[in-house]
């Protein structure tokens, strides 16, 4: 994969006590290159504060599930130099033994680190209206307020004007295939905006058999990266996107309040086309293949 950029799962139950989970040096379960399916990645990492009670329940199959909210603060500066704050609310879901540990060891107001995958769930409410919710399915979580070494010593307050201390984090990394060509539009002020529809795959076990599960992600790119993405990438291309998850409230045509979730991409990297790889392999063996290097742009030729 080229290191040039456009300018933007674990499945184990790792716990607070350091119990081993998935081996991060091994390919995740999403990677199924041997079956002809493009490798996928869906990893969402947050640092924030638990802002609700932790509700512990059981699924129909008897597995424990814990649900709670995580508040993530983000500070930014406007073009006029004004400092502003935004708060993102993340719906966290934890399953199994880790759910039980969360309910016992964590409490509202505690600062935590959590990572997992982004999932969007839909259902019809009692009035028949379609409802959507975005959730962080947590695989790994721990408290950042837990004392280190001397348990009686409290963490000091740090005045950090240069921003070296991480107050919060909202970072997502996706590898998947574009479901359609990038959609480039411009705002009334002439700012470029490109929307991407990205599919990630995950293999799950159901009733003893493996089944493929596809998640679709809406990604928004802005300014230069938006224009370059729309110009050089197309439907079916496999890309890596890094960015953050944002949610916005709006009122639908029926008068009900809904939440719209979007991923703002800060960096995009692309993978070589399969036909280009095949063409280079055939060229090196002295034969000419279909879709050789002359039929597609080489990654090094793209101005990213």
Contact assessment for residue 3 and residue 139, using Cβ atoms and an 8 Å cutoff: no
Strands 111-124 and 41-50: antiparallel
Please count the structural domains in the chain: 1
The enclosing domain of 126 has a CATH number of: 2.40.50.140
Q: Which residue range forms the structural domain that includes residue 226?
A: 33-147+162-271
Does 278 map to a domain? no
Question: Residue 254 burial by CB count (10 A; 0-12/13-18/19+): exposed, middle or buried?
Answer: exposed
pLDDT truncated to tens, each residue of the chain (304 aa)? 444 445 433 333 333 333 333 333 433 444 444 444 446 899 999 999 999 999 999 988 889 999 999 999 877 777 777 887 788 889 999 999 999 999 999 999 999 999 999 998 887 777 777 777 889 999 999 998 866 554 454 444 545 555 555 678 999 999 999 999 999 999 999 999 999 999 998 877 777 777 778 888 999 999 999 999 999 999 999 999 999 998 777 777 777 767 677 899 999 998 877 644 444 454 444 433 222 222 333 333 333 3
Which residue shows structure tokens 């969402």? 44
Does 8 map to a domain? no
Does 213 map to a domain? yes
In whole angstroms, give the CA distance from residue 74 to residue 57: 31
Contact assessment for residue 225 and residue 211, using Cβ atoms and an 8 Å cutoff: no
Does 117 map to a domain? yes
Does 290 map to a domain? no
pTM over the 0.75 mark: no
The three-point CA angle 265-241-219 to 5° equals: 45
Q: Quick one: pLDDT at residue 250?
A: 72
Token pair in block for residue 304: 């990213």
Does 238 map to a domain? yes
Does 109 map to a domain? yes
Does 157 map to a domain? no
Strand partners, 268: 241
């Amino acid at each position: 994969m080229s290191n040039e950029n456009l300018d933007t799962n674990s499945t184990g139950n790792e716990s607070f006590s350091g119990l081993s989970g998935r081996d991060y040096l091994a390919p995740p379960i999403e990677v199924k290159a041997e079956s002809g399916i493009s490798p996928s990645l869906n990893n969402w990492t947050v640092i924030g504060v638990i802002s609700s009670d932790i509700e512990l329940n059981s699924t129909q199959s008897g597995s424990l599930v814990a649900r709670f909210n995580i508040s993530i603060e983000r500070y930014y500066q406007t073009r006029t130099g004004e400092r502003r704050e935004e708060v993102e609310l993340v719906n966290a879901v934890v399953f199994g033994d880790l759910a039980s540990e969360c309910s016992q060891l964590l409490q509202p107001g505690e600062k935590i680190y959590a990572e997992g995958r982004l999932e969007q769930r839909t259902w019809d409410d009692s009035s028949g209206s379609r409802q959507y919710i975005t959730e962080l399915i947590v695989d790994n979580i721990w408290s950042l307020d837990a004392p280190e070494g001397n348990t009686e010593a409290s963490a000091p307050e740090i005045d950090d004007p240069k921003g070296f201390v991480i107050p919060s984090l909202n970072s997502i990394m996706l590898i998947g295939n574009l479901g359609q060509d990038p959609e480039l539009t411009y705002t009334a002020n002439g700012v470029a905006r490109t929307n991407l529809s990205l599919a990630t795959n995950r293999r799950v076990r159901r009733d003893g058999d493996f089944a493929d599960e596809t998640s679709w992600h809406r990604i928004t790119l802005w300014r230069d990266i938006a224009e370059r993405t729309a110009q050089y990438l197309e439907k079916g291309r496999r890309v890596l996107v890094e960015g953050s998850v944002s949610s916005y409230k709006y009122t639908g045509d029926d008068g009900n309040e809904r939440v719209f979730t979007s991923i703002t991409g800060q960096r995009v990297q692309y993978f070589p086309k399969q036909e280009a790889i095949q063409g280079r392999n055939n060229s090196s063996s002295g034969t000419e293949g279909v879709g050789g290097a002359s039929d597609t742009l080489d990654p090094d030729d793209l101005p990213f």
